[in-house]
Amino acid sequence: MNQVTEAELRASFVNCTRGERARIALPGPLATVDFDRLDFLGWRDPKAPDRACLVTQAGDRLVGIVLRAAAKSAKSLTKSTMCSLCMTLHASSGVALFSAPLAGAAGRNGNSVGTYMCADLQCSLYVRGLRKSDAIGRMNETIDQAERVDRLRRQVGLFIDNVLASNLV
Ligand SMILES: [Zn+2]
């Protein structure tokens, strides 16, 4: 994705109120972020780790989604899980179920969409082999890195579409 500014980031959020948007904790210094290797910018709020954000380009528009991580169930600690955006297999602590309120009235009425994602939101690094998952039996995928990047972008696009869909109703 392209370099973005803090003001652009803050203005990008589509599924929260104006007050929430003003309070979102932005990630560390953007000057140190290598945007060339990111399909989306994702981060957890260091002060409220159940909150997370995902910002990406959708066409020529920057779209930010606020997310909330679900509390872990004890049962999930025993099995590996897969990120539904980048398809990386993790030990269960490496994947979290995030829910995103829908944009617009549907979200204000309490509707949300949930998806399993890399808990650190670094899918872009996993698909490029720049970060390794802690899963023991890593899946042997037959597709190459460029295809994994394409698939990640498609999945992120679908997720954004799901969050925005309420605006079409
Ligand atoms: Zn992922």
**Average pLDDT of the chain to the nearest whole number:** 90
From ligand 1's centre to the CA of 168, what distance in Å? 28
Neighbours of ion ligand 1 (CB under 5 A): 83, 85-86, 88, 118, 123
pLDDT in tens, 74-125: 555 556 689 999 999 998 789 999 999 999 999 999 999 999 999 999 999 9
From ligand 1's centre to the CA of 5, what distance in Å? 24
b/e code 89-99 from CB counts within 10 Å (16+ = b)? bbebebbbbbe
CB-side neighbour CA atoms (13 Å) of 56: 23
User: Which residues, at least 6 apart from 78, have a Cβ–Cβ distance to it below 8 Å?
Assistant: 92
Q: Is the pLDDT reported for residue 48 higher than 80?
A: yes
From ligand 1's centre to the CA of 83, what distance in Å? 5
